[in-house]
Structure 1
């Protein structure tokens, strides 16, 4: 998957774009870790029941030059993409996803636009 400037997950209400004011130190403050090649990565488990260990993996990778990013939600193995927005069965997971993304929008990592 290539780095993109804007990403809209299937059936998601919003399109997310890299904020022009993004800063590397903000990513470090937000617990993004630096990979061996210098990209910034954040992985979070979206769980219906906190600390259950059962849920879907949200992974965000931001290019080391802060020019693009990858965003996907997978099963825990990280191999299969999952669409948590397709039905209201995953309403709690959707709310947790939007809460996390809103905090990144607030800190000027992303901007969001309603589709």
Structure 2
């Protein structure tokens, strides 16, 4: 899957883009890990009761030029996408997802695309 300019997480009606003010140090401050290819990757658990290893996660990846990204919600092993908005435990997952997305917007990593 290639890095995109705009991303929509399945089930979320918002479309996200990278912020124009995005800086590498902001990504590091937020816990993004630098990949071998020079990009940045972040995984955050969405179910606090399940622990880190057993939780559905929000995964955000940004390329090294900071001009493309991927964002998805993945299963605990990280191998498949999950639609948290239709999950049986969706209230907790959606609440945590919203918190993580709001934090990324507030820190100017991503922005909601206006129509």
**With structure 1 as the length reference, what TM-score do the two structures score?**
0.89
| Counterpart contact for 1:61–1:71, Cα < 8 Å | yes
Residue number in structure 2 paired with 1:77: 77
Q: What are the within-5 Å matches in structure 2 for residues 46-61 of structure 1?
A: 46-49=46-49, 51=51, 53-61=53-61
RMSD of Structure 2 on Structure 1 (CA): 2.0
**What TM-score results when the alignment is normalised by the length of structure 2?**
0.89
1:13-32 → structure 2 map (5 Å cutoff): 13-32=13-32
In structure 2, relative to structure 1, the CA distance for the partners of 1:25 and 1:84 (3 Å cut) is same
Following TM superposition, by how much is the alpha carbon of 1:87 offset from its aligned partner in structure 2, in angstroms? 5.4
2:53–2:76: 8 Å Cα contact kept in structure 1? Answer: no
- 1:113 CA drift (Å): 4.1
Sort the Cα spacing of 1:114 and 1:75 in 2 relative to 1 into closer, same or farther, 3 A.
farther
* Structure with greater strand percent: 1
